[in-house]
Every structure is written in structure tokens, then in C-alpha cells.
Chains A and B, each alone.
Chain A
Amino acid sequence: MSEINPDPYLARYASRTRGMTASEIRALFAVAERPEIAFLAGGMPYTAALDYDAVAEVTGRVIADMGPWALQYGGGQGMAELREQLVDVMAAEGIAAHPDDLVVTTGGQQGLDLVAKAFCDPHDVVLAEGPSYVGALGVFSSYQADVVHVPMDDDGLVPDALEDTLARLAGQGRPPKFLYTIPNHHNPAGSSLSERRREQVIELAEHYDLLIVEDNPYGLLDFKGETRPALRSFAPERVVYVGTLSKILSPGLRVGWVAATESVRDKLVLLKEAADLCQSNLTQAIAQQWFATQPWHEQVDTYRAVYRERCEAMLGELAASFPASCAWTTPTGGFFVWVTLPEGVDTRQLLAKALRARVAYVPGSAFFADGGGATALRLSFCYPPPDRIRDGVRRLSEVVAGELELAAALYGTRR
């Protein structure tokens, strides 16, 4: 027999790896990351805006003062003093919590992973906005959950659509395990849930006995410094809250947390210990010292000003150069603008053309588990400087205009 098998483990893989295949889009991102490309695709915080002398000082002090502890294993729930600081970070948005409610995780991402691991069996239903955060969709997929999307508009998740979905799923005997939502400066949509809708979502959660997983990476990054009431503030017992220091300090520290009721928290601590024993003491101590000794509110203000300027650059150039038939969101904070192109254009296919023009975005379909988002794309303004953003948007506008012309000629809408 002449069969050649390049992967002898094929029959052994778990069924959850089945969707994990090489993709054309992912391959294209190898090009997108080259410096020649205006990279409007990534959600990397602009960490160059940090005060590096202060970071060095804090890090040096941690090693000098608490080296043996910092380089040792730690507890599964995370450093107690850090959890106290994280409660203060939540308080800056008006969110009440106790240090004992918190479990420190490797970024908010591990928080999402542990929550999904705690609640999801294969084929359980998870609700998420459409579009939703691609990293969360990846987590839900790895636990073989079925994601059902709930539409959103400029004011965030649409409560009527949520109610319809909950009623339909109840009728099918498939109540969702939870609703995953990013109420503030949504990734990728760029919109925020209005206050009225927050109340409606909580009312629906009470009525349908729905658990909410509230992911809040961008709450403190409102361009005007405004804060919105967290869903957790309305009904702490119905909400598992996920926070992160990645956007207000550094993603390199990998410090996030989950705030939950005692019973859920206990499960998460055990799952955390099973996953990686404990959070790094070293990075926890650096984070703790940062918040205890540095003017961290000023650092957040600095980030906010950087992102506001970049967002204005992006929105200004979109208005100046994008075809009139395209629409986009107007963020009041966060990192992202969601652009919708006319029907007939597939943003997955358009990506290669954009890369040839040296600009990168993320196709909208990445943010849907059900094949949606074909005509949408996400632009990030967080990382490149304003001139680069304007240049990238201008180049993308030419690509889009060319594609619309070609689509019109091919599909005959011009006749």
C-alpha cells in the first residue's frame, strides 16, 4: 500500500479539535503583520504609552523586597493584596465587589475559558452578541458549545431580539447556559449598551433565569471618562464579571480576574488550579505594586487620550474617503470601528486585495459562529499612530471602491 500519513495521531485527536484547520484567512495574517502593512487588524494596546521608568522601578522593588515569594508558587485564588487593588479598579467604574469574590486569571481570556469549562457541556447553548469577541467564540467552540447570536445595533444588544431568542430556545427545551456580553465599547462592534437596555437585559435575565457573563475590558477607556453601570451592579448573583488589566496596564502581564458568587468562585478556583496551579506571583506582585504605588488613574487618562485621538483620525478619514454606500459605528471608547459594506462584497475575499494595497483588517465573519458578517469588517485604531491610520483607511477606501465597481459590473446592478 502506498499511503503516506503525515500525521500518525489522526485517529487519536479529541473531537473538539475537528474544527481546528488551516485557513486561508489565518495564513494571510502572516503577511498582515509585516511592517509595510498598515495594520488596522490587531487589538494590541499601545503599550509604548506606559511610563517605563515607573514599570522598571516597580519591578525592581518586587524582586528586591519580595523576591523569594514572587518567584514561588502561589495560591489558586490569586494574591490577596492584588485582589484588594482589583476591587479598587472595579470601584473606579462604580462596581461593588469584595476581594474574596475574585479569582485572578491569566488575562480575561483564561477567565472566559474557566467560566465556559465550568458551565458548558458539548452542545449546550451559549448566547452572544452578533458580532461577538472572536477569542470568546474560540473558547466556546473548544468546549463544543453551540453559540446563538443575538443582534445588536448602535445601542448594543437588542433586548427584543434577546427576548425572542430566549422564548424560542425555551420552546425548544434548550435554555442557554449563559449570555456572553461586552456591554462597554464592544469588541468588535464599537458600540455600548444603553442604560435603559441594561435594565431590560437584567429584567429578561430574571424572567428567563438567565446567567450573564459580563466581559468588561474597555469600560475605563471611554473617551470622555464617563462610566456606565455594570450589569453586575444590577444583579450580582446573576452575573459573572470578567475583568482585565491588559487594556489599562499591560497585556504582557497576563493579569485578569473573574468576580462571581461564592459557589461559582469556588468552582473557578478549583478549575484554575487544575489548569495551571496558580497565577504567576511575579506578575501579580508587579500589578499589585503598580496599583498600590503609581498614579494609575493618570496612566488610564493617557491611554484614553491616545485612543481618542486615533479614533478621531479613523472616523475623520472614513468620512472623508469611504464610499457613501458603506456604514460604520461611531465608538465613544475602546479600540474598534465596525464597518458594513453593501451586499455583494465578501470581506474575507477582499482581504487579499487589501493586503496587496498594504492595509489589513479583520473580516466580519471572524466574529460570528454561524457564518454571518460576510459584508462587515473590523478596523482597530488602538495601535498605529494617527497618520498611519489615515493612510491605511485611505488605501482601504480605494480597495473597497474598486471592489464595489467590480461587483456592480459583475452582478449587473449598473445596467
Chain B
Amino acid sequence: MNPAKVAVLAGGLSMEREVSLRSGSRIADALRDRGHAVTRMDLDDGLVDALVAADVDVAYLALHGKAGEDGVIQSLLELLGVRYTGPDAVASSLAWDKGVAKGLITRAGLATPPWLTLSSDAIRDMGAAGALDRILSTPGQAVVVKPAQGGAALGVRLVDDASQLPAALMAAFSYHDTVVIEEFVAGTEVAVSIVDGEPLPPVEAVPRTGHYDFSARYTHGATEYFAPARVSHDVLDACIDLAMRAWRVIGCRDVSRADMMIDGDGRPWLLELDTCPGMTETSLLPTAAHAHGWTFDELCERVLAAALSRAEVPTAS
């Protein structure tokens, strides 16, 4: 493709800043190797001036977490008339909140584990602690407690004993004031990445500790990856079908990653949709691209090409 002027946006004030910086460094290196003119930018109070001055063809978003994945930066770029990679502001904000995304997905008839949301206000001001014994009331049941907004498994806890629930809620509330309490699906952890409408091989993640937490995600060797996932072709197809349908329901474009669990019966359940997937060495999207025969450079360039294929957005008035 023709060399482009690219601003790689990474960092920001989100709790996933470190992961974002790692993603951004790798993307910037890859695009430079491919001959593009790359400028790296952080999200700070000089961003708008820097973007205007740089007069780039496209902004490559390597942002994870709040302000990067929730539609905020996307809206700002639309206002500035700067093309950017990834889903638009509306799709980003819909996928960003796990409760909202699960609601949309359920209404579209797709499978996502049963859940409820709980806010810290309800605990503090409405006596919701008195209702917690209704959760995990069935023996053998387990739930995943997670912040309704945020990624990288930050603040996420698996709870199979009601006595651990308050501590898990405290951990999740630290990241966001509303949490999603989701029925735990035991089985195989799989992620399906989609690049410009094309599904990549589903990647199976097998954390050595049994928990796919932050440490398992970002420590080399802490998780074994298999791509394609070690399940039957029918199940692989079902995973891809679920990811493609979720992509359409949310209205994605360019790139996304659907995280799911395959239960004991071979049925995939969608957990969440990531509109700006991690691009670190241990991340799932680059792993899927590798299994698909793409180098990392090629993956970055395909995402870039998808964004550049759109007409330049007119500046909002």
C-alpha cells in the first residue's frame, strides 16, 4: 500500500495505560517497517493541537480502556475530521459497557451467560448487601464479578463461595462504580478476532494457573495458546458464527475481538466484545493473525488499510 501519515495513539489515563503503551510501540514499529510515516501521541491536553498540526491521514488507535475504547476519542476524532482505525463512536460505546453489550446481544438472540448488574450506590444507599445471599444460592454455582467497564481482566474475580463475594465486589468497584455479576461458564476460553469482516482462527487460551487474569495475560509463558482452538470443526464454526453476529449487532468495523467460553456441550457463550484488542506479544489478536499466516506487520497494515479505505470524514458542524 502507499505510505501514509499515521498517528499512533497510545497511553492515556486509563488503568490499561501500560498495555496500551506496549501495543502502541509494537504497532508504531510495524508501520514504520512498512514505510509509513508514524508519529506517536499520548492522550493528554496537547492532543488536539498535535493532531491538527500533524495533519495525518489516519489515527491508529492503540488505546485500551476508558477514553480510548468507550467512544470518547472516536467522537473527538470525528469532530476533528480525522479518520481512525476501529469501530465508530457509537459501536465503541455500546461494546464498552458490558451490561449494555450483553443486553443488546441477548435481545438479538445470541448466547451470553445470565448476569445482573449492581452499583456501589445500591450497596451504600439501598441496603443491597442484604440481597447478596440471593447470589450463589445454589450449591456448585460460581459467578464472575467484573467492573461493568474496563478490560485486561483488571478487577475481575471468580467467586464460588458466597463469603468471597464482598471482597470481589470491593475489587471490581475499585475500577468502576457498577459491576456485572455473570454466571460462570466452565469450559474452554476462546477468542475470535475479526479483521475487516474476515474472521481469524479462534484462539484457545489455557492459563497455567487456571485463571486467565492480568498476570496470565501479560506474562510470557503464563498461558498456553492454541490456534485454532482444540475443538471440533462444528464448534469452531459456531464460535466464528457467534463472533460475526455480535460484530453485526454492535456495528463493528475494521477490527474487534469476541471473548467467549465454550461449555461442556460445545456451545459457545459470548462474554464480551473488545473493540480495540490488545496488540502486545502475548495478546490474542496477534496470535490469531499468526495462525492465519499473517505477520504482525501485515496485521497492522490490514487494519490501517481498512480505515484508509473510508472516505475522509467531514468535520462535524
Q: Does A95 contact B (CB under 8 A)?
A: no
Q: A2-B227, A23-B214 are in contact. Are A31 and B21 (CB under 8 A)?
A: no
Contact of B221 among A10, A35, A350, A353 (CB under 8 A): A10
Q: Are B155's CB and A411's CB within 8 A?
A: no
Question: Is A410 in the interface zone, CB < 8 Å from B?
Answer: yes
The 0/1 profile, CB within 8 Å of A marked 1, for residues 273-301 of chain B is 00000000110000100110000000000
Distance in Å: Cβ of A41 to nearest Cβ of chain B:
15
Any chain A CB within 8 A of the CB of B241? no
Please give me the residue from chain A that is nearest to B229 by CB atom.
Answer: A2
CB pairs A–B below 8 angstroms (29 shown) = A2-B229, A3-B224, A3-B226, A4-B226, A4-B290, A5-B224, A6-B221, A6-B281, A6-B287, A21-B222, A22-B217, A23-B214, A27-B214, A27-B218, A28-B15, A31-B13, A31-B15, A34-B17, A36-B13, A345-B170, A346-B171, A349-B174, A352-B155, A352-B174, A352-B175, A403-B170, A406-B170, A407-B166, A410-B166
A residues within 8 A CB of B171? 346, 349
* CB < 8 Å neighbour of A22 from B170, B218, B290: B218
Q: Are A7 and B221 in contact (CB under 8 A)?
A: yes
Whether the Cβ atoms of A407 and B170 lie closer than 8 Å is yes
Which listed residue, A3, A21, A22, A27, touches B225 by the CB 8 Å rule?
Answer: A3
Residue A30 at the B interface, CB < 8 A? Answer: yes
Q: Known contacts A31-B17, A349-B170, A406-B173; is A6 also within 8 Å of B225 by CB? A: yes
A403 and B120 alpha carbons, distance in the complex (Å): 10
Contact indicator per residue, chain A 30-55, by CB within 8 Å of chain B (1) or not (0): 11001110000000000000000000
Q: Smallest CB–CB gap between A2 and chain B, Å?
A: 5
Q: Which of B83-134 contact A (CB under 8 A)?
A: 120, 123-124, 127, 129, 132
| Complex CA distance for A191 and B195, rounded to whole angstroms | 57
Which A residues are in CB contact (< 8 Å) with B44?
34-35
- Tell me which residues across on chain A come within 8 A of B17, comparing CB atoms: 27, 30-31, 34
Interface assignment of B188: CB less than 8 Å from any CB of chain A: no
Partner of A412, one of B129, B215, B221: B129
What A residues does B290 contact at CB under 8 A? 4
Chain A residues, CB < 8 A from B15 = 27-28, 31, 352, 355
CB neighbours (8 Å) of A92 from chain B are: none
User: Does any Cβ of B come within 8 Å of A409's Cβ?
Assistant: yes
A78: min CB distance to chain B, Å: 37
B222 contacts across to A, CB distance below 8 A: 21-22
B156 to chain A, nearest CB (A): 10
The verdict on A6 contacting B218 (CB below 8 Å), with A409-B129, A410-B169 known, is no
Alpha-carbon distance between A72 and B202 when the two chains are bound, in angstroms: 57
B196 close to A (CB within 8 Å): no
A27 with B129: in contact, given A7-B220, A10-B220 (CB under 8 Å)? no
A22 contacts across to B, CB distance below 8 A: 214-215, 217-219, 222
**Which residues of chain B have C-beta atoms less than 8 A from A2's C-beta?**
201, 204, 226-230, 291
Is A160 positioned at the interface, with any CB of B under 8 Å from its CB?
no
Residues of A within 8 A of B218 (CB): 22, 27
Q: What is the CB-to-nearest-CB distance from B59 to chain A, in angstroms, rounded to a whole number?
A: 20
A253 to B19, CA, bound (A): 31
Interface size for chain A: under 10, 10 to 19, 20 to 34, or 35 or more residues? 35 or more
Q: Which residue from A4, A21, A355, A405 sits with its C-beta under 8 Å from B227? A: A4
Q: Is B154 in contact with chain A by the CB < 8 A criterion?
A: yes
Point out residues on A near B: beta carbons under 8 Å: 2-7, 10, 21-24, 26-31, 34-36, 345-346, 349-353, 355-356, 403, 405-407, 409-412
Number of A-B contacts (CB under 8 A): 114
> Is B25 interfacial (CB 8 A cutoff)?
no
Q: Is B48 an interface residue (CB 8 A)?
A: no
Q: Which residues in chain B, 217-246, are within 8 Å of chain A measured between CB atoms?
A: 217-222, 224-230
A133 to B234, CA, bound (A): 55
**In the assembled complex, how far is the CB of residue A173 from the closest CB belonging to chain B, in whole angstroms?**
33
Within 8 Å of chain A (Cβ to Cβ): is B16? yes
A5 to B175, CA, bound (A): 31
Whether a CB of chain A sits under 8 angstroms from the CB of B79 is no
- Min CB distance A409 to B, Å, is 5
* Complex contacts, A29 vs chain B, CB 8 Å: 18
Q: Is B14 close to A, CB under 8 A?
A: yes
Closest to B168 in A: A349
A351–B174 Cα distance when bound, in Å, is 8
Tell whether, in the assembled complex, residue A4 and residue B14 are in contact, meaning their CB atoms are under 8 Å apart. Answer: no
Considering the complex, give the chain B residue whose CB is closest to the CB of A23.
B215
Q: B154, B173, B229: which contacts A24 (Cβ < 8 A)?
A: B154
> CB distance B120 to A406 under 8 Å?
yes
9 nearest A-B pairs in the assembled complex, by CB-CB distance: A30-B18, A7-B220, A22-B218, A10-B221, A21-B219, A27-B18, A352-B174, A410-B166, A30-B17
The CB with the most chain B CB atoms within 10 A, among A2, A5, A26, is that of A2
**Residues on the A chain within 8 Å of B132, using CB:** 410
Complex CA distance for A31 and B219, rounded to whole angstroms: 19
* Chain A: minimal CB distance from B181 (Å): 14
- Across the interface, B174 reaches (CB within 8 A) one of A30, A350, A405, namely A350
Residues from chain B with a CB closer than 8 A to the CB of A356 are: 175
Whether B167 is near chain A, meaning CB under 8 Å from some CB there, is yes
Q: Is the CB of B13 within 8 A of A410?
A: no
Of B171, B228, B291, most buried by chain A (CB within 10 Å of CB) is B171
B-side contacts of A30, CB under 8 Å:
17-18, 21
* Residue on B nearest A353 in the bound complex, by CB: B174
Partner of A409 from the list B13, B123, B174 (CB cut-off 8 Å) is: B123
Q: Assess the A6–B175 pair: CB atoms within 8 A.
A: no
Is the beta-carbon distance between A346 and B170 smaller than 8 angstroms?
yes
Q: By the criterion CB–CB under 8 Å, are A6 and B282 in contact?
A: yes
Write the chain B residue with the least CB distance to A27: B18
A23–B222 alpha-carbon span in the complex (Å): 12
User: Which has the most chain B C-beta neighbours within 10 Å: A4, A35, A346?
Assistant: A4
Q: Which of A34, A350, A352 has the most CB of B within 10 A?
A: A352
Q: Which residue of B lies closest to A410 (CB)?
A: B166
